[in-house]
């Protein structure tokens, strides 16, 4: 696919170009002309002879062969034949603005499918259908029907929603924010977010990438591209359609089905994409990332002429990953020379209400020089003294920021009297806000990104397993499974599979009579646990099928009889094999839960949490997409809120975290090796300071349709 022809076309045909200003085919042509496009333009229209000064071609068949780009603004039904003709002419890129395809129903879906096939067979870079078009400021290309064109800049934007594109363009024009590339993806029949990441990663005109998506087209490819890309440039992305009702709206919107939110969260986090929750934040962050250097550390210094806002900033800072910098003695002593005695010399540095431009300049310079400072916020309340000198203040800040390798942010508290200065700062590339919160938000994201970029690439170790044994067990189930069906592998055999992966399954025997059970218990050693053994019962406690802490042969025999009869009573249809006799984990072990399910887009999603109310009520769970490295496993464990309970608080002995890491990486490997195991639930795993025991496990095997 020729992405160069797509972004830098030497010739563009506008099919459906119109002399009527109310038509989309007119807007596209006129935007292209207004953008100063210097390549050849071919309006195509069956009737006109000339539109906007350009001679008209009457039929697609009369267009030259091998055009770089054709833009389609015709009604829906002629689109498919047009694409066929363009393919025959060897057109390299096709933009379909026309709507009415998969987003509206079956017929449209099938047409889109055919268009996609033609494009793929002929290697056409096809955008849309159902999109606003694209802009490449550097090449004078604007084939959108949007009103108003953005300035050129170093930010690229792509979006699945055309309406959002319109709104954002308008906003950007108003805010004077410039774009390098602007692409409305529409239905993503061919070109999708992965192509964007791929291309924009190496685009010299783009420093920051913004994206709005409702779903990802190819999860694994997206992850790979995103991971490579975000090492080069920051990628800020909004993913909508996460709430259930949001997901429904998204599916009727562009015919996309939203993946599960946890999987997206994990995907973004593991590939270094900065997830943004709303459009306001997208712009705040885009501005900061696009015009300021990344902070090399978390330490922020604040220079302010008023106490309250300075303290509020410090509070917001402490709630974030950032810290208030501790200024060096040298800086403090230096400031004493020129600051009045009432000034507060510690961060936030309060240069008090009568501060003028010069005091701001001297203090900001001194603070920014300090080695303990990674970023500076200049906070200003429009007092009478400083308001008359605002222009000078702005000038000084611009000068200071331009010479510094540390990020400088400004917060002018107010609206009316600061407007001119604010505009001056923003135009010079200094992020300037009316409140301190966006500053903290931006810097925190920039700092996190900086940390992510400095982190070594994850290395997933290949674990030695008895793969043959594992295959043998799974094959036993596969052979009994027809396509499209699932089966649960319950505890006894699931444990065997775990053992093949060196996972610490509790010692377990199976007995078909109470006498056998007592014998098995003798071998394992008291106390033991008895559980119902049935391929048809997966939630054993629910049918009275689990007895713990049995200490004698009598108790074991008794439990055997009770469990089997209870199970028969609750599940009369179930085949009951007998009972499992299992080693009883020592008292005081913590219960944790490890498992995975499979996301349609991103594959196996591992989960980890502390058992009991922590998972069920507090939803204190961490997720990652498999495969994971050991350090990612450690991350998963650390990132639950109740981590301190595992680590041990107030002199309490903690559990062996390494044993949990081991389990996570091994389960990750199992999930990766067996794509047809669609779910796993190790619940509970018991851990103490010495070891971990998997006390219960069930797996779900699914045979895909062939």
Which residues here bind Mg ion, judged by CB under 5 A?
Answer: 683, 696
The region, left, alpha or beta by phi > 0 then psi within -120 to 50, assigned to residue 4 is alpha
**Cross-strand bridge partners of residue 41:** 12
Strands 677-687 and 141-142: unpaired
Tokens (6 digits) for 365: 């310079």
697 near ligand ADP, rule: CB under 6 A: no
Please enumerate, as own/partner, the contacts of 468-474 that have beta carbons within 8 Å and a separation of 24 or more: 469/496, 469/500, 470/497, 470/500, 470/501, 470/670, 470/673, 470/674, 473/497, 473/500, 474/674, 474/676, 474/677, 474/701
Q: What are phi and psi of 223, to 5 degrees?
A: -60, -45
Distance CA 301, CA 317 (A): 10
696 near ligand ADP, rule: CB under 6 A: yes
The answer to whether the beta carbons of residues 622 and 607 sit under 8 Å apart is yes
State how far the alpha carbon of 78 is from the alpha carbons of 60, 75, 130, 190, 611, in Å: 11, 6, 14, 19, 59
**Sites for ligand ADP among residues 539-558 (CB under 6 A):** 539-541, 546, 548
Helix (H, G, I), strand (E, B), or coil: what is residue 689? Answer: coil
Among ligand ADP, Mg ion, none, what does residue 531 contact (CB within 5–8 Å per kind)? ligand ADP
Is the N-terminal amide bond of 527 cis, ω within 30° of 0?
yes
**Cross-strand bridge partners of residue 700:** 488, 679
Among Mg ion, ligand ADP, none, what does residue 546 contact (CB within 5–8 Å per kind)? ligand ADP
Cβ neighbours around 481 below 10 Å, total: 14
* Residue bearing tokens 């290697």: 123
Among Mg ion, ligand ADP, none, what does residue 695 contact (CB within 5–8 Å per kind)? ligand ADP
Report the residue number, 139 or 697, with the smaller CB distance to ligand ADP: 697
Cβ neighbours around 22 below 10 Å, total: 7
**Sites for ligand ADP among residues 341-370 (CB under 6 A):** none
Report the residue number, 516 or 583, with the smaller CB distance to ligand ADP: 583
115 near ligand ADP, rule: CB under 6 A: no
701 near ligand ADP, rule: CB under 6 A: no
Chain centroid to CA 234: how far?
12
Q: Tell the smallest beta-carbon distance from residue 606 to ligand ADP (Å).
A: 19
Q: Tell the smallest beta-carbon distance from residue 506 to Mg ion (Å).
A: 12
Q: Number of residues interacting with ligand ADP: please give it, by CB under 6 A.
A: 17
Instruction: List the alpha helices (DSSP H) in 136-192.
Output: 162-175
Among ligand ADP, Mg ion, none, what does residue 541 contact (CB within 5–8 Å per kind)? ligand ADP
Report the residue number, 113 or 549, with the smaller CB distance to ligand ADP: 549
Report the residue number, 269 or 566, with the smaller CB distance to ligand ADP: 566
Distance CA 457, CA 202 (A): 20
Among ligand ADP, Mg ion, none, what does residue 113 contact (CB within 5–8 Å per kind)? none
Q: Tell the smallest beta-carbon distance from residue 597 to ligand ADP (Å).
A: 17
Report the residue number, 582 or 668, with the smaller CB distance to ligand ADP: 582
Report the residue number, 74 or 584, with the smaller CB distance to ligand ADP: 584
Report the residue number, 306 or 700, with the smaller CB distance to ligand ADP: 700
**Sites for ligand ADP among residues 562-621 (CB under 6 A):** 582-585, 591
Among ligand ADP, Mg ion, none, what does residue 539 contact (CB within 5–8 Å per kind)? ligand ADP
Residues in contact with ligand ADP, shown as a per-residue x/- string from 654 to 683 under the rule CB under 6 A? -----------------------------x
Radius of gyration (Cα) for the chain, nearest Å?
32
Q: Tell the smallest beta-carbon distance from residue 544 to ligand ADP (Å).
A: 10
Strand intervals (E) in 621-696: 621-625, 677-687, 692-694
Among Mg ion, ligand ADP, none, what does residue 585 contact (CB within 5–8 Å per kind)? ligand ADP
Q: Tell the smallest beta-carbon distance from residue 541 to Mg ion (Å).
A: 7
Report the residue number, 278 or 542, with the smaller CB distance to Mg ion: 542
Report the residue number, 555 or 582, with the smaller CB distance to ligand ADP: 582
Report the residue number, 207 or 491, with the smaller CB distance to ligand ADP: 491
Among Mg ion, ligand ADP, none, what does residue 467 contact (CB within 5–8 Å per kind)? none
Report the residue number, 217 or 683, with the smaller CB distance to Mg ion: 683
Q: Tell the smallest beta-carbon distance from residue 672 to Mg ion (Å).
A: 24
- Concatenate the DSSP letters of all residues of 640-654 into one string: STTHHHHH-STT---
Strand intervals (E) in 276-421: 299-304, 323-324, 349-350, 375-380, 408-412
Instruction: List the alpha helices (DSSP H) in 538-626.
Output: 553-570, 613-616
177 near ligand ADP, rule: CB under 6 A: no
531 near ligand ADP, rule: CB under 6 A: yes
The stretch among 52-60, 191-199, 245-253, 533-541 that binds ligand ADP (CB under 6 A) is: 533-541
| Angle at the Cα of 633 from the Cα atoms of 627 and 639, rounded to 5 degrees | 125
* Residue whose C-beta lies closest to Mg ion: 696
507 near ligand ADP, rule: CB under 6 A: no
Closest to 705 (Cα-Cα) out of 489, 481, 488: 481
Q: Tell the smallest beta-carbon distance from residue 276 to Mg ion (Å).
A: 38
71 near ligand ADP, rule: CB under 6 A: no
684 near ligand ADP, rule: CB under 6 A: yes
Instruction: List the alpha helices (DSSP H) in 430-579.
Output: 437-454, 467-478, 491-500, 514-524, 553-570
520 near ligand ADP, rule: CB under 6 A: no
Report the residue number, 332 or 524, with the smaller CB distance to ligand ADP: 524
Q: Tell the smallest beta-carbon distance from residue 608 to ligand ADP (Å).
A: 16
Side-chain half-sphere exposure of 308, counting CA atoms within 13 A? 4
Cβ neighbours around 217 below 10 Å, total: 19
The answer to whether the beta carbons of residues 2 and 125 sit under 8 Å apart is yes
* Residue bearing tokens 């629910």: 542
First vs last Cα of the chain: how many Å apart?
Answer: 30
181 near ligand ADP, rule: CB under 6 A: no
Q: Tell the smallest beta-carbon distance from residue 567 to ligand ADP (Å).
A: 11
Chain centroid to CA 493: how far?
36
Binding residues for ligand ADP, rule: CB under 6 A, are: 506, 529, 531, 539-541, 546, 548, 582-585, 591, 683-684, 695-696
């Amino acid at each position: 696919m020729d992405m160069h022809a797509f972004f830098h076309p030497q010739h563009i045909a506008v099919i459906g170009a119109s002399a009527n200003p109310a038509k989309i085919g007119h807007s596209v042509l006129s935007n292209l002309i207004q953008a100063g496009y210097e390549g050849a333009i071919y309006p195509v229209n069956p009737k006109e002879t000339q539109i906007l000064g350009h001679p008209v071609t009457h039929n697609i068949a009369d267009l030259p062969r091998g055009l770089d780009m054709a833009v389609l603004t015709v009604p829906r039904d002629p689109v498919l034949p047009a694409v066929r003709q363009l393919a025959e002419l060897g057109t390299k890129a096709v933009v379909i603005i026309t709507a009415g395809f998969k987003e509206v129903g079956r017929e449209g879906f099938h047409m889109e499918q055919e268009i996609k096939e033609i494009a793929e067979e002929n290697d056409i870079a096809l955008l849309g259908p159902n999109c606003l078009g694209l802009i490449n400021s550097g090449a004078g290309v604007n084939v959108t029907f949007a009103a108003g064109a953005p300035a050129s800049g170093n930010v690229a934007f792509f979006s699945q929603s055309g309406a959002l594109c319109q709104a954002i363009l308008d906003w950007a024009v108003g805010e004077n924010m410039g774009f390098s590339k602007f692409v409305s993806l529409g239905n993503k029949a061919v070109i999708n977010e992965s192509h964007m990441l791929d291309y924009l990663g190496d685009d010299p005109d783009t420093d920051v990438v913004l994206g709005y998506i409702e779903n990802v087209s190819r999860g694994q490819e997206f992850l790979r591209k995103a991971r490579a890309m975000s090492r080069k440039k920051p990628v800020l992305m909004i993913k909508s359609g996460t709430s259930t009702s949001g997901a429904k709206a998204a599916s009727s919107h562009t015919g996309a089905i939203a993946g599960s939110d946890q999987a997206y969260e994990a995907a973004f986090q593991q590939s270094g994409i900065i997830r943004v929750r709303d459009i306001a934040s997208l712009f705040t962050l885009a501005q900061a990332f696009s015009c300021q250097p990344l902070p090399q550390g978390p330490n922020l210094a604040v220079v302010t002429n008023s106490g309250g806002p300075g303290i509020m900033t410090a509070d917001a800072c402490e709630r974030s990953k950032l810290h208030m910098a501790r200024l060096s003695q040298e800086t403090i002593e230096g400031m004493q020379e020129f600051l009045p005695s009432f000034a507060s010399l510690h961060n936030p540095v309060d240069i008090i209400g009568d501060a003028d431009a010069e005091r701001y300049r001297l203090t900001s310079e001194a603070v920014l020089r300090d080695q303990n400072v990674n970023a500076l916020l200049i906070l200003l309340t429009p007092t009478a003294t400083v308001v008359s000198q605002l222009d000078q203040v702005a000038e000084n800040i611009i000068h200071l920021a331009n010479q510094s390798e540390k990020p400088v942010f400004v917060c002018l508290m107010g609206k009316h009297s600061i407007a001119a200065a604010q505009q001056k700062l923003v135009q010079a590339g200094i992020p300037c806000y009316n409140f301190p919160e966006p500053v903290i938000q931006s810097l925190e994201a920039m700092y996190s990104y900086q940390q992510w970029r400095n982190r070594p690439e994850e290395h997933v170790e290949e674990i030695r397993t008895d793969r043959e044994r594992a295959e043998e067990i799974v094959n036993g189930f596969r052979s009994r499974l027809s396509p499209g069906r699932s089966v649960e592998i319950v505890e006894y055999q699931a444990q065997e599979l775990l053992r093949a992966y060196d996972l610490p399954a509790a010692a377990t025997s199976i007995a078909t009579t109470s006498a056998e059970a007592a014998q098995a218990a003798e071998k394992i050693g008291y106390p033991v646990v008895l559980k119902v053994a049935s391929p048809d019962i997966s939630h054993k406690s629910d049918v009275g099928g689990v007895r713990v802490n049995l200490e004698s042969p009598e108790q074991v025999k008794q439990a055997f009889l009770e469990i089997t009869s209870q199970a028969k009573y609750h599940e009369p249809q179930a085949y009951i094999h007998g009972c499992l006799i299992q080693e009883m984990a020592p008292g005081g072990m913590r219960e944790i839960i490890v498992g995975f399910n499979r996301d349609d887009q991103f594959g196996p999603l591992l989960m980890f949490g502390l058992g009991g109310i922590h998972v069920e009520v507090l939803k204190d769970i961490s997720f990652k997409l498999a495969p994971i490295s050991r350090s990612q496993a450690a991350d998963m464990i650390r990132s639950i809120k109740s981590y301190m309970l595992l680590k041990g608080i107030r002199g309490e002995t903690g559990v062996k975290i390494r044993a949990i890491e081991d389990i996570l990486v091994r389960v990750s490997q199992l999930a990766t090796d067996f794509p047809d195991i669609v779910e796993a639930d190790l619940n509970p795993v018991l851990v103490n300071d010495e070891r971990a025991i998997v006390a219960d496990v069930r797996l779900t095997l699914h045979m895909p349709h062939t």
